[in-house]
Protein backbone atom coordinates (compact mmCIF):
# COMPACT_ATOMS: atom_id res chain seq x y z
CA UNK A 1 0.00 0.00 0.00
CA UNK A 2 2.82 2.39 0.83
CA UNK A 3 4.55 1.68 -2.49
CA UNK A 4 1.37 2.50 -4.38
CA UNK A 5 0.97 5.72 -2.41
CA UNK A 6 4.57 6.68 -3.14
CA UNK A 7 4.11 6.02 -6.86
CA UNK A 8 0.97 8.13 -6.95
CA UNK A 9 2.69 10.99 -5.13
CA UNK A 10 5.62 10.65 -7.56
CA UNK A 11 3.14 11.00 -10.44
CA UNK A 12 1.78 14.21 -8.91
CA UNK A 13 5.28 15.60 -8.41
CA UNK A 14 6.36 14.70 -11.96
CA UNK A 15 3.27 16.41 -13.36
CA UNK A 16 3.91 19.51 -11.27
CA UNK A 17 7.56 19.67 -12.27
CA UNK A 18 6.56 19.28 -15.91
CA UNK A 19 4.22 22.24 -15.60
CA UNK A 20 6.92 24.37 -14.01
CA UNK A 21 9.97 23.34 -16.04
CA UNK A 22 8.70 22.66 -19.58
CA UNK A 23 8.68 25.52 -22.08
CA UNK A 24 6.38 23.95 -24.68
CA UNK A 25 2.71 24.80 -24.14
CA UNK A 26 1.48 21.35 -25.17
CA UNK A 27 3.89 19.70 -22.73
CA UNK A 28 2.55 21.94 -19.97
CA UNK A 29 -1.00 20.86 -20.79
CA UNK A 30 -0.02 17.19 -20.76
CA UNK A 31 1.86 17.66 -17.48
CA UNK A 32 -1.26 19.17 -15.95
CA UNK A 33 -3.22 16.12 -17.10
CA UNK A 34 -0.64 13.79 -15.51
CA UNK A 35 -0.85 15.75 -12.27
CA UNK A 36 -4.66 15.66 -12.20
CA UNK A 37 -4.60 11.92 -12.90
CA UNK A 38 -2.30 11.49 -9.91
CA UNK A 39 -4.62 13.55 -7.70
CA UNK A 40 -7.63 11.47 -8.74
CA UNK A 41 -5.69 8.24 -8.13
CA UNK A 42 -4.62 9.49 -4.69
CA UNK A 43 -8.20 10.36 -3.79
CA UNK A 44 -9.34 6.89 -4.88
CA UNK A 45 -6.55 5.32 -2.81
CA UNK A 46 -7.60 7.28 0.27
CA UNK A 47 -11.31 6.51 -0.22
CA UNK A 48 -10.80 2.76 -0.80
CA UNK A 49 -11.61 0.63 2.22
CA UNK A 50 -11.84 -3.10 2.71
CA UNK A 51 -14.96 -4.72 4.07
CA UNK A 52 -17.54 -2.38 2.57
CA UNK A 53 -20.38 -3.42 0.29
CA UNK A 54 -21.82 -1.80 -2.80
CA UNK A 55 -25.22 -0.47 -1.73
CA UNK A 56 -27.01 -1.31 -4.98
CA UNK A 57 -25.67 -4.73 -5.91
CA UNK A 58 -25.26 -6.50 -2.59
CA UNK A 59 -27.60 -7.44 0.19
CA UNK A 60 -26.30 -6.63 3.64
CA UNK A 61 -26.91 -9.82 5.64
CA UNK A 62 -23.80 -9.70 7.83
CA UNK A 63 -24.23 -6.13 9.11
CA UNK A 64 -21.22 -4.79 7.17
CA UNK A 65 -20.93 -1.14 6.25
CA UNK A 66 -21.97 0.19 2.86
CA UNK A 67 -19.55 2.09 0.63
CA UNK A 68 -20.05 5.83 0.61
CA UNK A 69 -21.14 6.96 -2.89
CA UNK A 70 -20.07 10.60 -2.36
CA UNK A 71 -16.34 10.05 -3.12
CA UNK A 72 -17.32 8.22 -6.30
CA UNK A 73 -19.48 11.14 -7.41
CA UNK A 74 -16.74 13.64 -6.58
CA UNK A 75 -14.14 11.68 -8.54
CA UNK A 76 -16.44 11.31 -11.54
CA UNK A 77 -17.10 15.05 -11.48
CA UNK A 78 -13.37 15.79 -11.20
CA UNK A 79 -12.61 13.57 -14.20
CA UNK A 80 -15.26 15.27 -16.35
CA UNK A 81 -14.17 18.77 -15.34
CA UNK A 82 -10.51 17.89 -15.93
CA UNK A 83 -11.30 16.56 -19.40
CA UNK A 84 -13.25 19.70 -20.33
CA UNK A 85 -10.50 22.00 -19.05
CA UNK A 86 -7.90 20.05 -21.01
CA UNK A 87 -10.01 20.28 -24.18
CA UNK A 88 -10.44 24.03 -23.67
CA UNK A 89 -6.70 24.51 -23.18
CA UNK A 90 -5.92 22.49 -26.31
CA UNK A 91 -8.30 24.68 -28.32
CA UNK A 92 -6.54 27.74 -26.91
CA UNK A 93 -3.16 26.25 -27.89
CA UNK A 94 -4.48 25.63 -31.41
CA UNK A 95 -5.56 29.28 -31.66
CA UNK A 96 -2.12 30.37 -30.45
CA UNK A 97 -0.45 28.08 -32.99
CA UNK A 98 -2.37 29.77 -35.79
CA UNK A 99 -1.21 33.24 -34.68
CA UNK A 100 2.34 32.30 -33.63
CA UNK A 101 4.83 30.03 -35.38
CA UNK A 102 5.92 28.55 -32.03
CA UNK A 103 4.38 27.12 -28.87
CA UNK A 104 7.31 28.17 -26.67
CA UNK A 105 5.80 29.94 -23.67
CA UNK A 106 8.63 32.44 -23.25
CA UNK A 107 8.46 33.52 -26.90
CA UNK A 108 4.67 33.86 -26.75
CA UNK A 109 4.89 36.00 -23.60
CA UNK A 110 7.57 38.17 -25.21
CA UNK A 111 5.36 39.14 -28.16
One pLDDT digit (tens) per residue for the chain, 111 residues: 789 999 999 999 999 999 999 999 999 999 999 999 999 999 888 877 666 666 676 566 676 677 777 888 889 999 999 999 999 999 999 998 888 888 888 888 876
Q: Walk me through the domains of the chain, giving residue ranges and CATH numbers.
A: 2-110 (1.10.287.3510)
Terminal Cα distance for the chain, rounded: 49
Q: What is the pTM of this model?
A: 0.78
Query: CA-to-CA distance for 96 and 103, rounded, in angstroms?
Result: 7
Query: CA-to-CA distance for 10 and 6, rounded, in angstroms?
Result: 6
Structure confidence at residue 111 (pLDDT): 67
Query: CA-to-CA distance for 94 and 26, rounded, in angstroms?
Result: 10
Residue 97 to residues 24, 74, 103, 104: CA-CA distances in angstroms?
12, 34, 6, 10
Amino acid sequence: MRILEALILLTIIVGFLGMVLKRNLLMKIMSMDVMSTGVVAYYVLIAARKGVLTPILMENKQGLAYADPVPQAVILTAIVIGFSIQALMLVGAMKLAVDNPTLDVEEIEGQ
